Amino acid sequence: MKTLVTIILLIFIGALAAGVTQAQKRNQGKLAREAGMKEKSEDNVKTAVFGGGCFWCVESDFEKVIGVKEAISGYAGGTGANPTYDDYARKGYVEVVKIIYDPALVTYKQLLDYFWRHMDPTDAGGQFVDRGPQYRGVIFYENAEQQRQAEESKKELEKSGRFHKLIVTEILPLKNFYPAEDYHQNYYKTHTTKYKFYRWNSGRDQFLKKVWGDRDRTEELGNLFFKEARAAENTANNPGTSAASKYTKPSDAELRKKLTPLQYQVTQKEGTEPAFNNKYWDNKKEGIYVDIVSGEPLFNSRDKYKSGTGWPSFTKPLAPENIVTRQDRSLFTTRTEVRSKHGDSHLGHVFPDGPPPTGKRYCLNSAALRFIPKEDLVKEGYGQYLPLFEKGK
């Protein structure tokens, strides 16, 4: 009998200890997130807080944006300390995401534009399948400038005529923010199947596709959207820094001085370098490839693969706007030539025999390219592409 009592006591103590350990872990996780947020606030970053319904979805959308360092699911706008998933609604909190971003890469206005494209601003009773005030759309501003931009952005959306209903998204001062439990952070990564099932059945993407279309609002185009928005903004504010003026082709005399004979033959005379005997065919370093003539960005090392041809091969361009294709009938057959837009350099050819997801093989000449390692991107003036190599993007 004593043995039985002893066993039961040991089981009880073990369960109690396990419960304490789990509670400690949750508390440590929360403290770690708060410490991380404090540490990031001391860097050259800014924050934005948006409520767009289920924070799993909002976090997933914003973490795809170039310039966003982290998106943290949490609760804001309520009363009482330390809300949890069990009581945040009763305390008047809203599900939100705190976005930590680099203003040198993405602006608050651009984040606002992206926010509108990923929620329903006409729904005052929640978002999609999630109903209740805890799921309503809210922009929480942290200062007067954010308030001004948020109100202007809302007015622009109203004037656009995109929606035929009243825009009801609230714009409120941020009084408090509490990170959500660890379970909710990066849910789209840690519970991928459940997340995709929930998201599809929520009706979110179906609604957004109907309103905005794939070109203006898809998750996949999140980074492209901001590349174009940033380029447009830079051009508007600094006309002299447009792509056309930034990336130019030097005179022929300058090219002959700048380029090696092989580089000149390849880029200016549509030549081809030897296979397996060129600079980048087996380069495995992370970074981007730019035009040797103009410097315009062309391809990303993460889209490079081993094709077995002996030339550097890629599945897709880094900057499609800098790529030009045309028919090439020079070898008694029709091929598709690849050239740079601003430098007008012959780069190589593209073939329809590449791997998924594009099925294309951009087969290029190393002599037409210059490789910029990721650690040199900022120094070389391509810092906007550095986030591509962070957090597994």
> Which residues have CB under 8 Å from 134's CB, separation 6+?
88, 89, 93, 94, 95, 126
Q: Is 363 a catalytic residue?
A: yes
Can you give the pLDDT at residue 271?
Answer: 92
Dist CA 54 CA 135 (whole Å): 7
> Which residues have CB under 8 Å from 144's CB, separation 6+?
none
Q: Which CATH class is domain 247-389?
A: mainly beta
Can you give the pLDDT at residue 13?
Answer: 44
Asked if residue 60 lies in contact with residue 219, where contact means CB atoms within 8 angstroms, the answer is: yes
Q: Is 54 a catalytic residue?
A: yes
**Residue closest to 60 by CA, chosen among 230, 245, 218:** 218
Q: pTM score, two decimals?
A: 0.51
Dist CA 301 CA 286 (whole Å): 5
Residue type present at position 264: Y
The DSSP bridge partners found for residue 171 are 139
First to last CA, the chain: 60
Which DSSP helix (H) or strand (E) runs through 116? helix 108-116
Q: Which residues of the chain have pLDDT under 70?
A: 1-43, 214-245, 331, 391-393
Domain ranges of the chain: 36-237, 247-389
The dihedral of CA 160, 237, 322, 375: what is its sign?
negative
Q: Which of 48, 54, 369, 386 is catalytic?
A: 54
* Placement of tokens 């799921």 in the chain: 135
- Using DSSP, state whether 236 is helix, strand or coil: helix
Dist CA 97 CA 137 (whole Å): 11
Equal fold, 36-237 vs 247-389: no
- Using DSSP, state whether 283 is helix, strand or coil: coil
Dist CA 89 CA 192 (whole Å): 25
Token pair for 34: 């708060």
Q: Which of 323, 363, 377, 388 is catalytic?
A: 363
CATH superfamily label, 36-237 = Peptide methionine sulphoxide reductase MsrA (3.30.1060.10)
Can you give the pLDDT at residue 65?
Answer: 86
Can you give the pLDDT at residue 387?
Answer: 85
